[in-house]
Amino acid sequence: MQRAGAAAAAEIVHRFADRLSHGVVVATGPGNNGGDGWVVAHALHAAGVRVRVVECLLARTPDALAERQVALAAGVHALEDADALAGGDELVIVDALLGTGMRGDQPLTGAIGLGVSAMQAREQRGAVIVALDVPTGLDATSGLHISAPRCALTLTFGTVKRGHLIARDRCGAIVVLDIGLGAYTESAGVARLATAAWFRGALPTIDASAHKGSRGKVAIIGGAEGMAGAVVLAARGAFRSGAGMVKCVVAKESLLAVQQAEPAALASAWPTSDEPFSDSIAGWADVLLIGPGLGRVRARELVERALRVFRGPVVLDADALNVFARDVETLAPLLSDRAALLTPHAAEFARLVDRDVDEVLSTRFDSPRALAVRTGATVLLKGVPTVISSPNGETTVVAEGTPVLATGGSGDVLGGIAATLLAQTDDAHRAGALAAFAHGRAASLMSMIQVRGYTLDDVLAVLPGVWTLEVPAPRPPLLAELPAVGEHG
């Protein structure tokens, strides 16, 4: 508790130095989260910051009672009245009311509810809220809540929780602090949280002797009539990720549009039999991306032909997955004995396994692994966050990106990135996780907060800069950091 509180106080001073002259108010509850708040108050008081504690509920646990006694003896001012939180001119509010034991479907009542309402009112008047471990009322596992405060910063201890990764709008910036509990990456059922350091270490290099053939040849099958743009976006994602050559295999009605929009790419019409497919596509490509703008008219035929004739690595997205809705057993044998990556969003995933979208979202950390086992392919479930799981149980969570990516065509860009990396690694899990990180980081480099006015062309324009991403220098006791994203009203 002392490590947690001291580390949190140091981070508050580091981030909000310009606000500390107005003082800090710490709202405490009855448990050990409140005890953390008492340690924060004591540490800030010792550093000369004007601080007061509002005890919305009195401390009850032995550790919290001990830290309360120490803080009061040191001269920390405290009031035993939740209503006192509404007054004051402090510009920093520390939420130490309730920690990780809260269920998201439980309403906040009594003094705790009054305290949260007061914090929210103060936040509307310009104060910032800093949560210790989780914002009060937020379920640390599911991310559900009824009335959790909107925080500018969440300081969590030892590990990032699943709920943090889902409720980014409530948590604000998320900082994981080391308090001697071990590596954050092995907690809460998350095998790996993708970081900049991991990304740089896992990214394949392109040799000085590389040529267009060795950098990977990506064939993209899609582009039904009226949907050429999806293939164009995928091709641009592939080129900006280092692909040596790209071939767009589209409906004949889309050929002209594709060649005019992306002249660097080769183009050909959908094959009507196995022989031309084998000669001009399967015999040429290092990897297939199937699905962008594929439509429904000939989709099943094209997907099955492609997977039957081409035996190399594949990425399946969009309509290449939709044609196997409720028919995973047919898809699985077509993917066997190869590196395969499936990249559904929640609705596509739900159609594939015949479940409700809400059920998929509520089990987003576990559902990809179950589908990976059924299909023998790595599954990348797109969303907030993106979860990548392999049949062997390896899981990576990518918490990059901003709502800028919440637009039509974003998945096509991701598919192009993933296909290129799969061609260069022959490792579906590694390629999927790297692609999701690069895709999300490109959006965040462009704009963390503002969403309106940006397009996927803007994301593609900054994507090349992601490949030379600088890894921040370590700043102990900080283990990991996720920035706040999205617009706030």
* Each residue's pLDDT tens digit, 71-121: 999 999 999 988 999 989 999 999 999 998 888 888 999 999 999 999 999
CA–CA gap between residue 246 and residue 328 (Å, rounded): 29
What's the rounded mean pLDDT across residues 111-132?
96
Q: What is the DSSP letter of 190?
A: -
Length of the chain: 489
Residues with Cβ within 8 Å of residue 378, at least 6 apart in sequence = 339, 340, 341, 342, 372, 388, 389, 390, 391, 428, 429, 432
Structure tokens at 448: 């963390």
* Total-model pTM: 0.94
Residues 379 and 360: their CA atoms lie apart, in Å, by: 13
Instruction: Give yes or no for a contact between 126 and 100, defined as CB atoms under 8 angstroms apart.
Output: no
Q: Provide the 10 A C-beta neighbour count for residue 205.
A: 7
DSSP state of 39: H
What is the mean predicted confidence (pLDDT) over 141-157? Answer: 95
Instruction: Report DSSP state, residue 316.
Output: E
Confidence of residue 312 (pLDDT cuts 50, 70, 90): very high
Mean pLDDT (whole number) for 266-272: 93
Residue 188 pLDDT:
41
Task: Please report the pLDDT score of residue 448 as a whole number.
Answer: 76
β pairing state of 266-269 and 314-316: unpaired
Helix (H) or strand (E) run with residue 127 in it: none
Q: How does the average pLDDT of the chain come out, rounded?
A: 94
Whole-number pLDDT of residue 187: 40
**Cα atoms in the Cβ-side hemisphere of radius 13 Å centred on 402:** 25
Cα 314 to Cα 266, 268, 415: the distances in Å are 19, 19, 10
pLDDT of residue 185: 45
Residues 341 and 319 sit within 8 Å (Cβ to Cβ):
no
| pLDDT at res. 489 | 56
